[in-house]
Structure 1
């Protein structure tokens, strides 16, 4: 598996957008205007490729609180093969985020276990976004001395 990243609206971004369209718009029925809300140009996009095929994606934004992970998605034919896990492990270990105090995200309730296995914990109250139940999750970074 190869992972590529971009902060431009280039071909890697277009691959991320295609995955997100398949998963969020077509499969989950999220309105396209909600999924593509005009904030993609503010994010770094990560795409996992298997034999040149884009299979999983995530995006990040840097905030005062830490690194906000969003839009984690895997193409249906490639699920349960560890690609999203490898992509997030890469992201969590990325030198570009070495000074981040934490990583955080809004997880769909069906994905809570996935994120817990990566070391994330729930916090705050559950909420609904685009008609889908979510919970806030975070992974605090412990600095090694």
Structure 2
């Protein structure tokens, strides 16, 4: 039986695991410039909450939540390794992230979703609120969900 879990990052090792997933997906696979991938919300003292998904002890997914404005959270850096896609990791990560957002008192979540993932976010109840725009050389749309 496969052991699966999504954790809120609390250790340096978990942070490194989440960053490994992000680098693999965004930098290596999608050619996002490393200078665009990493920002102040990745610093250890940042109030952003990082998540990492594990399958049998191996990191396969990552996500980040931060406060955008009062009672509004911003979903960022949702990534699943190619070898784990189609196994429900995106949903697991988003379920954990939304639970944490509710715990923090957020009543709405915003995200910039790649257009290739727009259908996935619609299935989770997110609504598209913008036209397509470029972010890091990849087409995105703004989306939001009331919690």
Unaligned stretches of 5+ residues in structure 2:
none
Q: Is the CA contact (8 Å cut-off) linking 1:61 and 1:68 kept in structure 2?
A: yes
Superposed displacement of residue 84, structure 1: 1.4
CA contact (8 A) 2:66 2:74 kept: yes
Equivalent residues, number: 139
Q: Tell me how far apart the structure 2 counterparts of residues 30 and 44 of structure 1 sit (CA, whole Å).
A: 22
1:126 Cα deviation from its structure 2 partner: 2.2
1:39-50 map, 5 Å: 39-41=41-43, 42=46, 43-50=48-55
Please give the residue correspondences for 1:67-106 in structure 2 after superposition, counting only pairs within 5 Å.
67-94=73-100, 95-97=102-104, 99-106=105-112
In the alignment, what sits opposite 1:5? 8
Alignment equivalent of 2:35, drawn from 33, 36, 42: 33
Partner of 1:137: 143
Matches of 2:40 and 2:13, distance apart in 1: 17
Q: For the aligned residues, what is the CA RMSD?
A: 1.5
Question: 1:67-98: CA deviations, max 9, x gaps?
Answer: 1010000011000110111111122123523x
Partner of 1:71, secondary structure, is strand
TM-score if structure 2 supplies the norm length? 0.88
Unmatched tracts of structure 1, length 5 or more: none
Instruction: Tell me how far 1:62 sits from its aligned partner.
Output: 1.3
| Residues 35-44 or 50-59, more deviating | 35-44
Q: After the TM superposition, which parts of structure 1 deviate over 4 Å for at least 4 consecutive aligned residues?
A: none
Q: Counterpart of 1:63? A: 68
2:126 is the alignment partner of 1:120: yes
Counterpart for residue 26 of structure 2:
24
